[in-house]
Amino acid sequence: MAGGVNRKISAASARAHTRRAKQNSSFQLPSGLFKKALVVLFVGFFAWAYQAIQPPPPKICGSSDGPPVTASRIKLRDGRHLAYKEHGVPKDTAKNKIVFIHAFDSCRHHVVFDRSLSPDIIEALGVYIVSFDRPGYGESDPNPKRTEKSLVFDIEELADKLALGPKFYVIGISMGGQVVWSCLKYIPHRLAGAALLAPVVNYWWAGFPSNLSNEAYYQQPWNDQWALRVAHHTPWLSYWWNSQMWLPSHSIFSNSSDILSQQDKKLISGRSPRIHAGQVRQQGEFESIFRDLNVGFGKWEFSPLELENPFPNNEGSVHLWQGDEDRLVPAVLQRYIAQQLPWIHYHELPGAGHFFPIDYGIADAVVKELLIKKE
């Protein structure tokens, strides 16, 4: 009778065999499918992130979903419109014609000088002023390609369309004062003179000693440092960054009084509300205030500290006005610019903050210094 073979299996071998059987029977995602799922996940995340940082499209004045056009406007060569407003004596009888460049978060109505410049000076000096909405503000079409250079040629074209003549004056305040540097760079032959009132300083301009610019930069509130850093290095992120409640946005967007001097607070408290404030950002915040921030603190193709005297024969003059207690624009940097450009007429006002141009008598002083030729 044939006999079977008896095999003895140890308990340890049995347990190992059981474990291998369970492992072999568990579900495993094929490696190729896992990689595809991972790719889809990452693509979906980046698509969501891209959409999240995109600003809403602007509401162009005169379009079906945009605000109505109420201002006088010119049509520029590239098809955009520039809104403007005229002040002072009639243009045809004017002796001195000024293009006024408004500040950050403002528009053509906020000339400052239209109310504070005395009628006697306007008449005696024959002052005509034209203010305009910078691109994206008020009723001027946005310019997605705006740079520190492009606005200069908008100004020149405005002057030509309005027949201001071969030469005109420019006055700019705050961020508008920064634009005057570009006018001095690109169209000095069109200028009769220029005045910069508390012009915004870009901390990354070439020519500043690093210790000086760093010291001024780090004196700014920490949230402002972050906002400016984003505008300079990653401008495409600026809108998203400053519109998130949990991220440190710039103080000017929150209307914080911490960045105002004592004089600023006093001047603002005694001033009536801006009646045209609703028009400033009506086409969208990105193409107005955020584009302004990106251009003003972005990477420029020139530095004001490298400019040459636009009036070598004293046929005109350039004046820089600055408050020594300005907490938005450090006076120490303006002093350095004035030292490097000896042809600048530097006026530093003791005890003054950023909003000194609206103080009594300042408009008269600025215009007289600019227009009255001195021997």
CATH of the domain at 192: 3.40.50.1820
pLDDT of the residue at 1: 45
Total of domains in the chain: 1
Encoding tokens for residue 37? 């799922």
221 within some domain: yes
Concatenate the DSSP letters of all residues of 202-215 into one string: -TT-TTS-HHHHHH
59 within some domain: no
62 pLDDT above the threshold of 80: yes
How confident is the model over 302-350, as pLDDT tens digits? 999 999 999 999 999 999 999 999 999 999 999 999 999 999 999 999 9
15 within some domain: no
**Quick count: other Cβ atoms within 10 Å of Cβ 279?**
22
Phi, psi of 263 (to 5 degrees): -65, -40
Give, rounded to a whole angstrom, the gap between the first and last alpha carbons of the chain: 138
Q: Kindly report the pTM of this predicted structure.
A: 0.87
186 pLDDT above the threshold of 60: yes
279 within some domain: yes
Q: How far apart are CA 143 and CA 148, in angstroms?
A: 12
H or E segment to which residue 152 belongs: helix 150-161
Encoding tokens for residue 166? 């071969």
How confident is the model over 131-145, as pLDDT tens digits? 999 999 999 999 999
Q: How far apart are CA 80 and CA 15, in angstroms?
A: 81
Among 220, 172, 169, CA closest to 197? 172
Kindly state the percentage of the chain with pLDDT values over 70.
87
27 within some domain: no
H or E segment to which residue 299 belongs: none
Domain encompassing residue 101 = 72-371
Q: Indicate the range of 26-40, 47-61, 159-173, 274-288 predicted with least confidence.
A: 26-40
5 within some domain: no
